[in-house]
Amino acid sequence: MPFGAPRVMKFGGTSVADARAFESVAGIIAAHIELRPVVIVSAMSGMTDALIASADHAEKGRMAVAHASLDEVLRRHRLVAKNILGIEHAGAAIARIDEAAANIARLLQRINEEPPEQKPLRDEMLSYGEMLSSDLLARALSKRGIMGQQVDPRQCILTNDEHGCAAPSLIETFLKTQTVLAPFIKKSVIPVLGGFVGATATGATTTLGRGGSDYSAALIGAALRATEIQIWTDVTGVLTADPRVVPSAQTIQNLSYEEAAELAYFGAKVLHPKTIQPAIEGGIPVRICNSQAPKESGTLVCAQTETSPRTVKAIAHKAGLTTVQVTSARMLGAYGFLRALFEVFERHRTAVDVVTTSEVSVSLSLDDASALPAILAELQELGSVRVEKGRAIICVVGEGLGHTPGIAARVFSTISDINVTLISQGASSINLTFAIEEEHVNEAVTRLHEAFFGHANANAGGVK
């Protein structure tokens, strides 16, 4: 690259919830100006949820509710524009919000009238969340005298046409991102892009899946060979457990890419599961920071990590899962059976999370069970099938897990009164994963956290 490598800084929805939050994000960017920031921002908190709810109403013909349900978030956008820019200078920003509101109204009408076009229309609608927040943030920077320019992410992120969960084409995305953003970086102008949004080769708007702005940041970071990809959020880094379940969870100072990927995949919402892959390929460190406590160093994710003597780094969990068990004597000594079984899930585009096998049965867990009826009809041709809904997965993660005796015994004795199924230790030996009934998940995570990170067990000097 003909200029120094930039730093990617991604700010999540809670980091831009109101005018004060926008001001403090602008301050954080200003403090890093010499590192050539490239900024990615999510929609203001609540905006994507409100847009989805509004589209749902429109789909069901409740047009008045569909429009009314956006009033509060749109009002919040106008208020931010007035508060950060001053009433006399907010005209252009407010005109953008009004124009977005009018376009959204037209899209709601089409969602109601053209059901087969649902998915592309919804993506078009959702993109306004990120387009408006990035416009406001670029203006907040300019107001501070910093050269910031909104850039449409559809110019950079090229995806397939799987609306709602589009997959990027990496080579084209990298080339487009370099071509579009290099001139800004060279001129020391800070590009501000909405995350989550991309476009197909024919220019249709797509989105990368809920929470996908982290993934946008990683893709852009990899394309620009950034010095670091920073994910700024509302907690200080990756914590030893979900703080909504374990309020005493502590910040983990260091994680390997693999540890972070396992935690993200198995429920640590702080990182979108796809964020780590582009970072690994580019060898780029990922740092998770708190936009409300910018001086704290947060969590650094990179290739090297210290394995702490305590071994367990964190406990992630994910509820709302379904487990499926297929039993068939045809499995005994046969080849091709597992392929036939997984092809069923592939045909129905359904991802499988955890898999365990015995001589005559295969058990697996599913996050998205929307295609389950069709899947079951096909699985029944392979063997007898048992389905259990309302399951949760708990994933205990740490690089040293595979070569430290006694961890599994300690995990299962801590929750010995709770029925455990689907036990799996990944090939990488850095996680121990198992399923339980969803209603026990908070209790189990709390007890496991106490066992591994409680006062008597705390690692000296915090969690490395």
> For binding to ligand ADP (CB under 6 A), which residues are involved?
12-15, 42, 211, 233-235, 238-239, 241-244, 268-270, 314
Indicate which of ligand ADP, Mg ion, ligand ASP, none lies near residue 196 (CB less than 5 to 8 Å, by partner kind).
ligand ASP
User: Judged by CB under 6 A, does residue 211 bind ligand ASP?
Assistant: yes
Q: DSSP secondary structure string, 388-450?
A: EEEEEEEEEE-TTGGGSTTHHHHHHHHTTTS--EEEEE-TTSSEEEEEEEGGGHHHHHHHHHH
* Phi-psi sector, 25: left (phi>0), alpha (psi -120 to 50), beta: alpha
CA nearest to 449, candidates 331, 330, 317 = 317
Based on CB atoms, which residue is closest to Mg ion, 211 or 221?
Answer: 211
Helix 118-143 to helix 71-85 angle (10° resolution) is 20
Based on CB atoms, which residue is closest to ligand ADP, 8 or 344?
Answer: 8
What is the DSSP secondary structure assignment for residue 329, as one 8-state letter? G
Indicate which of ligand ASP, Mg ion, ligand ADP, none lies near residue 212 (CB less than 5 to 8 Å, by partner kind).
ligand ASP
Instruction: Tokens for 63, please give them.
Output: 């047009």
Binding to Mg ion, residues 8-37 (CB under 5 A): 12
Task: Specify the residue for token string 């429920």.
Answer: 267
Size of the site for Mg ion (CB under 5 A): 2
Least distance to Mg ion from the beta carbon of 389, Å? 26
What is the DSSP secondary structure assignment for residue 147, as one 8-state letter? -
* Cα 9 → chain centroid: 15
Q: How many helices (H) and strands (E) does the chain have?
A: 14, 16
User: Judged by CB under 6 A, does residue 13 bind ligand ASP?
Assistant: yes
Alpha carbon distance, N-terminus to C-terminus of the chain: 34
223 to 73, 142, 169, 171, 375: CA distances (angstroms):
33, 26, 12, 9, 38
Least distance to ligand ADP from the beta carbon of 183, Å? 29
Least distance to ligand ADP from the beta carbon of 263, Å? 6
Based on CB atoms, which residue is closest to ligand ASP, 73 or 407?
Answer: 73
User: Judged by CB under 6 A, does residue 127 bind ligand ASP?
Assistant: no
Distance CA 340, CA 284 (A): 38
Contacts of 375 (CB under 8 A, 6+ apart): 324, 344, 345, 348, 350
| β-strand pairing of 384-397 with 431-437 | antiparallel
Instruction: Tokens for 70, please give them.
Output: 């956006």
Using CB under 6 A, pick the residue from 127, 213, 256, 459 that binds ligand ASP. Answer: 213
Using CB under 6 A, pick the residue from 37, 120, 129, 298 that binds ligand ASP. Answer: 129
Least distance to ligand ASP from the beta carbon of 324, Å? 27
For Mg ion, which residue has the nearest CB?
Answer: 211
Least distance to Mg ion from the beta carbon of 212, Å? 8
Indicate which of ligand ASP, Mg ion, ligand ADP, none lies near residue 136 (CB less than 5 to 8 Å, by partner kind).
none
Least distance to ligand ASP from the beta carbon of 44, Å? 9
Using CB under 6 A, pick the residue from 7, 25, 39, 42 that binds ligand ASP. Answer: 42
* Cα 391 → chain centroid: 21
User: Which stretch, 135-143, 210-218, 318-326, 428-436, contacts ligand ASP (CB under 6 A)?
Assistant: 210-218
Indicate which of ligand ADP, Mg ion, ligand ASP, none lies near residue 244 (CB less than 5 to 8 Å, by partner kind).
ligand ADP
Return the number of other C-beta atoms located less than 10 Å from residue 196's C-beta: 29
Distance CA 350, CA 344 (A): 9
Distance CA 404, CA 168 (A): 39
User: Judged by CB under 5 A, does residue 211 bind Mg ion?
Assistant: yes
Least distance to ligand ADP from the beta carbon of 73, Å? 15
Using CB under 6 A, pick the residue from 11, 174, 196, 337 that binds ligand ASP. Answer: 196
Size of the site for ligand ASP (CB under 6 A): 12
* Binding map of Mg ion across residues 157-196, x = CB under 5 A, - = no contact: ----------------------------------------
User: Which stretch, 204-212, 259-267, 280-288, 364-372, contacts ligand ASP (CB under 6 A)?
Assistant: 204-212
Distance CA 128, CA 132 (A): 6
Based on CB atoms, which residue is closest to ligand ADP, 200 or 250?
Answer: 250
Interacting residues with Mg ion (CB under 5 A): 12, 211
Which residues contact ligand ASP by CB under 6 A? Answer: 12-13, 42-43, 48, 129, 195-196, 210-213
